Amino acid sequence: MKIDNYPSDFSCDIAIELDGITTRFGKRLIHDNISLQINAGEVMGIVGGSGSGKSTLLKEMAGLLRPEKGTIKVLGQVVVTSSADKLDWLRKKTGFLFQGGALFSALTVLENIEAPLKIHARLSISLAKEIAELKLLLTGLKKEVGRLFPSQLSGGMVKRAALARAISLDPDILFLDEPTAGLDPVSAGLFDELILKLQKSLGLTVVMVTHDFDSLWRITDRVAVLGEKKILAVGNMKELSCSEHPVIKELFRGPRARAAQDFNKK
């Protein structure tokens, strides 16, 4: 993990700390006093039923949403009360892959990847292009794809292009919101392999929200289960599959979960 300009009290062992996070949308309580630690260099999955606040929690970690109460530290920096300068620092240290890719439709793929480099790194046009082309290749896309617009890409290519943009600034942490949603099983498997390859080669901490149990079995080190407005459990997939908690049991022993578990035992 890269260490540069981190606060002196930053522990290399902990990438993200959540302490007492409470979130409301109007009168609706989403998170009730959630605490969690994510280790540097691990792949952490976040799962839960619909409406459990998985994507909301992910965006709070990334500084895109602000909880009502609690503290979030990312790489030793407090996110919730951060100044504009600290949030800019955070943008450089984290990458975010949105569920639908969220590519700018009016820009080419290469221009999409260049955007964070120009905004946050303030690089020259030529250097930003050179780095963007490298990120494109790292995600398995050919150089020619950079000239295309998002509307000309397949679903899998959109995911890879968005991933290239997410790693454009060489982040330490990568946030993934439903990375394999909408992909066929083969494409989803290849994307899982790509994430794992990048995580290992770039030394990334990965936090991933997903409903894809195949992905959870393939690439996560630990998984946090959201339910009843809290984190019900944190553990590896084998441990969670044995839980007798009714919410966890329903999630991890349903038909789709069992199929993924049986497949990954082969």
Reported confidence tier of residue 22, pLDDT bands at 50, 70, 90 = very high
Residue 241: enclosing H or E segment and its boundaries?
Answer: helix 237-241
Within a domain: residue 181? yes
The total number of structural domains that make up the chain: 1
CB burial of 128-151 (b: ≥16 within 10 Å; e: otherwise) equals: bbebbbebbebbbbeeebbeeebe
State the CATH number of the domain containing residue 166: 3.40.50.300
Q: Report the alpha-carbon distance of residue 97 to residue 99 in Å, rounded.
A: 7
| Longest Cα–Cα distance in the chain | 57
For 262, phi then psi, to 5°, come to -65, -40
What pLDDT sits at residue 81?
A: 65
Q: What is the pLDDT of residues 195-230, one digit of tens each?
A: 999 999 999 999 999 999 999 999 999 999 999 999
Full-prediction pTM beyond 0.85? yes
Residue type, 194: L
Give the pLDDT confidence score for residue 261 in this predicted structure. 57
Q: Is residue 16 part of a domain?
A: no
Is 33 a member of any domain?
A: no
Residue-level pLDDT at 179: 96
What does the pLDDT look like over 148-182, one tens digit per residue? 999 999 999 999 999 999 999 999 999 999 999 99
pLDDT at 104 over 90: yes
Asked if the structure places residue 77 within a domain, the reply is no
Residue 105 has pLDDT above 70, yes or no: yes
Is residue 154 included in any domain, yes or no?
yes
Q: Is the pLDDT of residue 266 over 60?
A: no
Helices (H) and strands (E) in the chain, counts: 10, 10
Q: What is the mean pLDDT of residues 222-239?
A: 96
Any idea what the Cα angle at residue 137 is, between residues 131 and 138, rounded to 5°? 90
Q: How confident is the model at residue 244 (pLDDT cuts 50, 70, 90)?
A: very high
Non-local (6+) Cβ contacts of 52 within 8 A are: 226, 227, 229
Going by pLDDT thresholds of 50, 70 and 90, the confidence category of residue 260 is: low
Range of the domain at 120: 42-63+91-265
82 located within any domain = no
| Tens digit of each residue's pLDDT (9 = 90 or more) over 116-143 | 998 888 788 899 999 999 999 999 999 9
